[in-house]
A and B are shown apart, each in its own frame.
Chain A
Amino acid sequence: MARTLAMFTDTSLCIGCRACQVACKQWNELGMEVPEWTGTYQNHEHFTDKTFRLVRFIEEPKPTGDLAWLLMSDVCKHCAQAGCLDACPTGAIYRTEYGTVNISQDVCNGCRYCVSSCPFGVVAFNESTGTATKCTFCNDRIHNGLGPACAKACPTESIQFGFRDDLVAKAQKRVETLKAMGFKDAQLYGADAKGFLGGLNAFFLLLSRPGTYHLPENPKLPQRNVVVDSLLSIGSALIVGLGALLAFRDRGKGRDDA
């Protein structure tokens, strides 16, 4: 495997211009969205088959009473332990030699198990092709020496692309700087390869708790349940089987107390 590639999204630098969102659409030929009123600046709200990069516009109440902008360009996390990948029964979802997670459109059969298995709600079903879609980490670009379209378009370097180890080191320094500047909640999300999901290959610097950005505080791999739940099902089968055995056991002629 080649050195793992990553995207580091530093939300403290995001100005909400959505250049990344547009660049992603341009490169990946994604269609337009129908606007959707959500009662906030967030329009629209979810990743779809037409939106793989999504800028979140969050207004956080400040102690002074007014609102602070929190802006964050969200994307598939390309998890080191990816729920979508483990769920896929066709092998359509695979890990590239760079550590990114991708969906082969010609192998996907449209079962949608991955949609229900991403802890971040990233994978979206495309009704017209009948397949699951998500950010490809610009698979075609990274295999041709170009960075992802979103990172390239970002005018403030809020989205940075590079080798994961380099970016993590950079991100750690940046958190320290921000803390020294008084952003006491500045924190990395998914940078730690020993943390949740084995670390995210698209990781973030946040200025507030993950929940504020609609990110789960402690995402878990869905497949962690398979073994325990299967054992409990086997236990259930034993009891049911025993019951049936007792009911059907042949106790010789002449007795029918059923």
Chain B
Amino acid sequence: MLKTPGWEMMIVWYFFLGGIAGGAYFTAAIADNFGGARDRQVARAGYVLSLPLVMACGVLLIADLGVPTRFLNMLRVLKFWDPMSIGAWVVGAFGMFSFVSSVLSFSTSARTDALRRKIGLVGIFFGFFLASYTGVLLSSSAQPFWSEARLMGALFLASGASTGMAAISLILFLTGASAGEGWGKVKKADRYSMVFELCVLAIFLALLGSAATPLTSGHFAPLFWGGLVGVGLIVPLLLDLVGHRVKTLAALSALLVLAGGFVLRYVVLMSIQS
């Protein structure tokens, strides 16, 4: 006679946007530190994108509590073994990294560039955390399926990467910056992430076995197989394969990846709560 928490659309959006924010940031920081000068657009797009997203995350989290000021109650304590508790702190810390990196991404001096890279190296960890802790949060609850999904955090992280990278490539496309080398690299990184996400998803399902039925059969199955696995991962990979020199196709594939990332959070949260 378990009870579900009633985490609905606001939390679906939070998980989705938090994943993109984390993914975009760590992609930016990696491009910034290990890429060449010409990957600078990728770094800037990723840093700057993560800022409004993490702000939206904060608003969604606070709004879901009903009484906004009660958010402060989370800051009374820090429980290291509690994903909800560290999560609240990390959203704040990530926000600060995101802000500083965004501002510094407009720098013109070599010294501030170096500073931004160093800050990015630390921020990477907060980005990874933000993209994955929501999965661990679900898997350390008492709910069936969630609590049996050992790879929920790993899967959310892979999805945060693929959607974060897709979002960066879309921004480059829309701002006309897709001519540079950076666009090709971020698309390539996105393909790696998608392939990895498919692998994680396969192991995730295999480990779950019959516990995965809320996803794999029943009401949410068409959305899961069609929306996430098909439209959200396999189709974009194929599009990239056949048309990776055609920019519009590549942009379309990024859009589908984003849709798939949303579907993932939606089916995971809603399949046992409705």
B244 to chain A, nearest CB (A): 8
Partner of A121, one of B3, B73, B151: B3
Residue tally, chain B, CB below 8 Å to A: 71
Interface residues of B in 1-29 (CB under 8 A from A): 1-7, 26-27
At the interface with chain B, which of A9-17, A166-174, A235-243?
Answer: A235-243
Given the interface pairs A115-B3, A222-B147, the reply to whether A89 lies near B157 with Cβ below 8 Å is no
Asked if B66 and A236 make an inter-chain contact with CB atoms under 8 angstroms apart, the answer reads no
Interface string of A27-55 (1 = CB under 8 A from B): 00000000000000000011100000000
Q: Is A226 an interface residue, CB under 8 A from the partner?
A: yes
Interface string of B128-171 (1 = CB under 8 A from A): 10001101110111110011001111111110010001000000
Inside 8 A of A115's CB, which chain B residues have their CB? 3-6
Inside 8 A of B27's CB, which chain A residues have their CB? 244
Q: Is A136 an interface residue, CB under 8 A from the partner?
A: no
Interface string of A81-125 (1 = CB under 8 A from B): 001001111111000000000000001111111011111111111
Partner of A248, one of B1, B31, B74, B77: B31
Asked if A225 and B7 make an inter-chain contact with CB atoms under 8 angstroms apart, the answer reads no
Whole-angstrom distance between the alpha carbons of A230 and B39 in the complex? Answer: 31
Given the interface pairs A232-B154, A236-B200, the reply to whether A247 lies near B76 with Cβ below 8 Å is no
Residue among A46, A86, A90, A256 with the highest chain B CB neighbour number at 10 A: A90
* B contact residues vs A (CB 8 Å cutoff): 1-7, 26-27, 30-31, 34-36, 39, 42, 64-67, 70-71, 73-74, 76-77, 79, 81-85, 87-88, 124, 128, 132-133, 135-137, 139-143, 146-147, 150-158, 161, 165, 181, 183-189, 192-193, 196, 200
* A contact residues vs B (CB 8 Å cutoff): 45-47, 83, 86-92, 107-113, 115-125, 130, 214, 219, 222-226, 228-230, 232-237, 239-241, 243-250, 256, 258
The 6 nearest A-B residue pairs measured at CB: A258-B184, A233-B153, A243-B192, A236-B154, A247-B189, A109-B70
